[in-house]
Structure 1
Amino acid sequence: MLTLIPLLLIGGCGRKNPVEEISPAKSNVKVVDVATDESMLSWPTWRGPKRDGVVPDQPLLTQWSDEKNVLWRTDVPGRGHSSPIIVADSIYLATAIADSQKQQVLAFDRATGKPIWTTDVHTGGFPSERAVHYKATHANGTLACDGVRLYTAFLNSDAIIASALDLDGNILWQREIGKFVSKFGYAPSPVLYKSLVIFAADNMGGGYLAAVDGESGEIAWRVARGNISSYSSPTVANVGGRDQLLISGCDVVASYDPATGEKLWSTPGTAEATCGTVIAAPDRIYASGGYPDKETACFSADGEKIWSVRTKVYEPSLVLNDDRLFAVSDDGVAYCWDADTGDVVWRERLGGKFSASPIVCNDLVYVSNLSGETFVFKNENDAFKLISTNRLGDDAYASPAVADSQMFMRVGVGKGTKRQEQLVCLESETP
C-alpha cells in the first residue's frame, strides 16, 4: 500500500497523455470463464480470496513477538509495500532494488521460508526521486494469481507495464497498458475477473482502467478516468445480483461492468485521492477517503448514498464483519460502525500511525501500525475489547496473508541504512 502525505507537486504537472479508449468490439478479446483450483489459491490476491480482508474461519494465533510463535523468517531484498500472497506451497512478493533499479517478483517456500526463485521484471526505467513519495517504494502493488499465472504491474519508463509470469518465475508476456504521470508513485494491485486481469491507473496525466487478457496479454478494454492522481486498487464484487467493478477516487465512487468497462454508475463521494479498496456486501458498498476531503460512506447496489460520516480513513481499507463495519484511521483511531445505519458503535485510540489494512478472522480484527505493532481486537457486546498487542520487527507497511492457521507478514527490521525487510511466518504452538 502506498503511503501518502500531501506534498507540493514538484514537476510534471503540465504533461498530459490523452487516453485512447478501447472497446471490447475493437479489441475482439473474448471474456470467458476460467476453471481454477480453489484448493491451491489460499490467499491469491490483495486482501485475500474475496478481496475484502475477511479470512475464512480457522484457528489463528492472537499473540506473538520476535521470539514467540515464529515458525521461520527470511530476508527480503530491497523494499516494497507489496503484501504476500499464498498459492499452494509458495509465497510470492514484489520488491524493488533502488541502487540497481530492479523491480522483481520473488517466490519463497511456504514450509521453510527459503527463496525459490527471483525474476527481474524490469531493470532501469525508475521514475525520478521527485516523482515518488519518500515513504513509498517502486513495488507497492500486491500480486494476483489465478493458479496458472502471476500478474503484476509496475510504474516504469513513465508507463504502467503489466506482466505475467508462470509459477516457475518465467515471464510469459509484458504489456504497456498506458502512460503515467507520477505525483507520488504507483500503488494499485490488479484484480482478476474471469479470463481478465484489471488494472487501475488514476494519474494527473490521464487516468484509466484497463483489462488485459490473462493468457495473451492483449488489452481487452480501456476506459478513461480523468486527470486526477489517486491510488486505490479496484475490486470486483457481486452486488445487487450483478458483477460490479468498483473503485473510489477522483471525487467519486464508481461502478463498471468488469467484462466490458462500461460505466454502470458514478456517485460523488469520499475524496479526490483515496488509497483504500472498496468493500461490498450482497446489497451494500462501502468506501472511504482521503485527501483533501474526509468521508466514509455506504452506497446501495445502484450507487445511491445511504449514509455518510465525516471520518477520514485514507490509506487502510475498511473491513466488514456481519453487521459491523471496522476501520483504523491513518492516525491510529479504531472505529466500529453499524453497517446499516452508519451510527458509531464505538471509537478507540490504538496509538501509532497506520498504512496496512486490517483483516478479520473469527470475529477478531488484526491490524499493524508503522512501528511494527499489531493490534488484535473485537467488538464484544458493542464495546471495544483489546485481545493483544504484538510487536514484530520495527515497521509494517504491508498487510498480512493467512492460510491454514498460519499468518505471513512482511516487516522491516532496523532503521535507516541498516533496515532489512523480512518475510515472517507465524504459527501458534497449539494450532
Structure 2
Amino acid sequence: MIKSFLCSVLVLAGLLTLGCGKRTPVVEVSVDQSGVTIEDIADAETADLVWAQWRGGVGGRVVTETSSTDSTSDAVSIPTSWSAESNVRWQADVPGRGHSSPIVVGDLVVLGSATQEPPEQFVMAYDLNDGSERWKTVVHSGGLPSGRAVHAKATNANSTLASDGTRFVTTHLNGEHIWVTALGLDGEQLWQKDIGAFASRFGYAPSPILYKSLVIVTADNGGGGYLVAMDIRSGEIAWRRSRGNNDSYSSPALVTLDGTDQVVITGGNRMASYDPATGDLIWETECISDATCGTAIATGDHVFASGGYPDKETLCLDANGKKVWSNRTKLYEPSLVTDGTNLFGITDDGIAYCWDVVDGTQHWKKRLGGKFSSSPLIIDDNVYVSDLSGNDYVFKADADKYELVSKNQLGDDCYASPAFTGDALIYRVGIGKGPQRSEKLFCIAAE
C-alpha cells in the first residue's frame, strides 16, 4: 500500500527513474567470454574518412591550411557568411524528421531520418558534389516508440551515424529495445542486432563511436543502462557493462589522456572512464548531474564536460579523473568545444562563454539570444554554432573578447550539428513550422 502510494507520487513528479519503471537486468559480457578479436582498422578502409562520426570524432575542431603563410599552398577557404542564395554549393530535400547530424565519407553525405506515416526509420545518402540522392535504406518499419516516450523536441532519428570507411553504423530505439544496424557503402544492410531493452522516458539520443574494429554504443535508461562494444564487421558483442538505472542522453567520447585511450561518458551524477578494448572501469568521479546530453571533449591531459538536470556544472578533470576546476554553468544539450587553449560553450538559452582550459578562468560571456540545441565547431580561428531559429553565428575563437564575425540565416530552425567536408560545411535545417515543416541539407562553400 505504502509502496504503491510512493510510486504514484513519483510518477506525478516525473521521477520515473527512482523505482517504479520496468527494470531489465543487464547481463555483463567480458572480452574473454565473447572471444571477439580487436584489430586496427586498415589504412585502406579509413582513407576516405572526412567527418565520419558525431562531431567528426575530433570533438568538433578542425584546422585547415587557411593560416599558412606559403602563398603556393593549397589553402582552404571556408565561408564565414552565407544565405539561402549565396555561398550555397547545393541544397537537397530530406524526407521525414531527425536530429541525426550529417557525416561525410568519401563522396557521400549520410544521415538518419524517420517518418510517422509510414512509421519508418531510415538512412539517406547524398552525393557530396551535387546533393543528389544516392540511396535510401529503411532500417525499421513500425515499432516506433509512442508519443509519450519521446520528448516533444526529440525525433525517432536522433543518433548520428559512424563509419569506418567501409560500413555505416546507426542506432535506433524501436520496439522498446536499442537496435544497432550496419550498412555497406551502397546502403545494403550488412547486419542488425538487438543490444538490449530500453525503458524510454524522453527517447533515445546517443550516437555510436568507433575504436579500432569496435563500435561502442551506450543506452542509459531507468530500466537498466549499459555500455556495449560490438565487432563492426559482424555485430557480435565484444563486451557489455552495466551503467545503473539513470535516464541520461550523452554520447560516449573516445579520448586519449596522457597517452591512454579511454571512453568517457557523463550521466548518473558522475563521469566514468572505461578501457575501450575491454570495457573495464578505469575511474569514475562524482560530478555534474543525474541527466546529461552533451558529449565530453579532451585536450592532451584533461577532459571537459557540462550539464545537466537537475543540477548544473561545467568542469575539468585530469587523466585520472581528479577534479581540476569547476563552475556552476550548465550546457545541457550543446556540447563544449576547445582550441586547446580556450574552452567555448553556448548554453541552451543562448549565452556564449569562453574559459581558460588550465584553471577555468572566465575570459568573457555574451548573450547571443535565442535557444540552442546544436553543438559548436571550431574551424581555424572561428567558432560556428546555430540556434533553434535558424540563425548561424560565426565568432572569433579568441580569449580577449567576444567578436562576432557574421550572423547568417538558413531555414527556420537547426537542431543538428554541421559537418565539415574539407572545403565546405553541411547543415541540416528545418523549413517552416508545424505540420508544414520540412527539412533540407545545405552545402555551404565559397562561390
Instruction: Give the TM-score of the pair, scaled to structure 2.
Output: 0.93
Q: Which moved more, 1:380-389 or 1:280-289?
A: 380-389
Amino acid at match of 2:100: S
Instruction: Give the structure 2 partner of residue 54 of structure 1.
Output: 61
Instruction: Give the structure 2 partner of residue 45 of structure 1.
Output: 53
Instruction: Give the structure 1 partner of residue 353 of structure 2.
Output: 335
Give the Cα–Cα distance (whole angstroms) in 1 for the partners of residues 314 and 20 of structure 2.
29
Instruction: Give the structure 2 partner of residue 20 of structure 1.
Output: 27
Q: Which moved more, 1:234-243 or 1:258-267?
A: 234-243
Give the Cα–Cα distance (whole angstroms) in 2 for the partners of residues 67 and 105 of structure 1.
27
Give the Cα–Cα distance (whole angstroms) in 2 for the partners of residues 121 and 24 of structure 1.
28
Amino acid at match of 2:307: G
SS of 2:61's equivalent?
A: coil
Give the Cα–Cα distance (whole angstroms) in 2 for the partners of residues 308 and 380 of structure 1.
21
State the Cα distance separating 1:322 from its structure 2 match.
Answer: 2.6
Amino acid at match of 2:56: G
Structure 1: runs of 5 or more not aligned: 1-5
Give the Cα–Cα distance (whole angstroms) in 2 for the partners of residues 365 and 7 of structure 1.
39
State the Cα distance separating 1:225 from its structure 2 match.
Answer: 0.3
Instruction: Give the structure 2 partner of residue 407 of structure 1.
Output: 425
Structure 1 residues 127 and 9 mapped into 2: Cα distance closer, same or farther (>3 Å)? Answer: farther
What is the CA deviation profile of residues 349-378 of structure 1, one whole-angstrom value per residue up to 9, with x for unaligned ones? 011000000000111000000000011001
Correspondences of 1:221-240 after superposition (within 5 Å): 221-240=239-258
CA contact (8 A) 2:125 2:134 kept: yes
Give the Cα–Cα distance (whole angstroms) in 2 for the partners of residues 306 and 119 of structure 1.
46
What is the CA deviation profile of residues 10-51 of structure 1, one whole-angstrom value per residue up to 9, with x for unaligned ones? 89942001100001111111111111344410100000142x
SS of 1:19's equivalent?
A: coil
Structure 1 residues 417 and 382 mapped into 2: Cα distance closer, same or farther (>3 Å)? Answer: same
Instruction: Give the structure 1 partner of residue 282 of structure 2.
Output: 264
Aligned to 1:359, which of 377, 382, 402?
377
State the Cα distance separating 1:98 from its structure 2 match.
Answer: 1.3
Instruction: Give the structure 1 partner of residue 123 of structure 2.
Output: 105
SS of 1:225's equivalent?
A: strand
SS of 1:417's equivalent?
A: helix
Q: Aligned pair 1:372/2:390, yes or no?
A: yes
State the Cα distance separating 1:333 from its structure 2 match.
Answer: 0.2
Give the Cα–Cα distance (whole angstroms) in 2 for the partners of residues 337 and 7 of structure 1.
36
Q: Aligned pair 1:32/2:50, yes or no?
A: no
Give the Cα–Cα distance (whole angstroms) in 1 for the partners of residues 330 and 13 of structure 2.
18
> Cα RMSD between the aligned structures?
1.4
Instruction: Give the structure 2 partner of residue 186 of structure 1.
Output: 204
Structure 2: runs of 5 or more not aligned: 1-11, 65-75
Structure 1 residues 252 and 372 mapped into 2: Cα distance closer, same or farther (>3 Å)? Answer: same
Amino acid at match of 1:186: Y
Q: Which moved more, 1:196-205 or 1:29-38?
A: 29-38
CA contact (8 A) 2:299 2:340 kept: no
Decide which structure has greater helix share.
Answer: 2
Q: Aligned pair 1:288/2:295, yes or no?
A: no
CA contact (8 A) 2:363 2:399 kept: no
Amino acid at match of 2:250: S
SS of 2:435's equivalent?
A: helix
Correspondences of 1:26-425 after superposition (within 5 Å): 26-37=33-44, 38-50=46-58, 52-57=59-64, 58-380=76-398, 382-425=400-443
State which structure, 1 or 2, has the greater radius of gyration over its C-alpha atoms.
Answer: 2
CA contact (8 A) 1:41 1:49 kept: no
SS of 2:54's equivalent?
A: coil
Amino acid at match of 1:97: T
SS of 2:303's equivalent?
A: strand
SS of 1:42's equivalent?
A: strand
Give the Cα–Cα distance (whole angstroms) in 1 for the partners of residues 214 and 138 of structure 2.
24
CA contact (8 A) 2:381 2:398 kept: no
Instruction: Give the structure 2 partner of residue 3 of structure 1.
Output: none
Structure 1 residues 293 and 212 mapped into 2: Cα distance closer, same or farther (>3 Å)? Answer: same
Amino acid at match of 1:390: N
Q: Aligned pair 1:8/2:14, yes or no?
A: yes
Amino acid at match of 1:163: T
Instruction: Give the structure 1 partner of residue 68 of structure 2.
Output: none
Q: Tell me the matched-pair count.
A: 423
Give the Cα–Cα distance (whole angstroms) in 2 for the partners of residues 47 and 203 of structure 1.
23
SS of 1:282's equivalent?
A: coil
Q: Which moved more, 1:172-181 or 1:57-66?
A: 57-66
Amino acid at match of 1:215: R
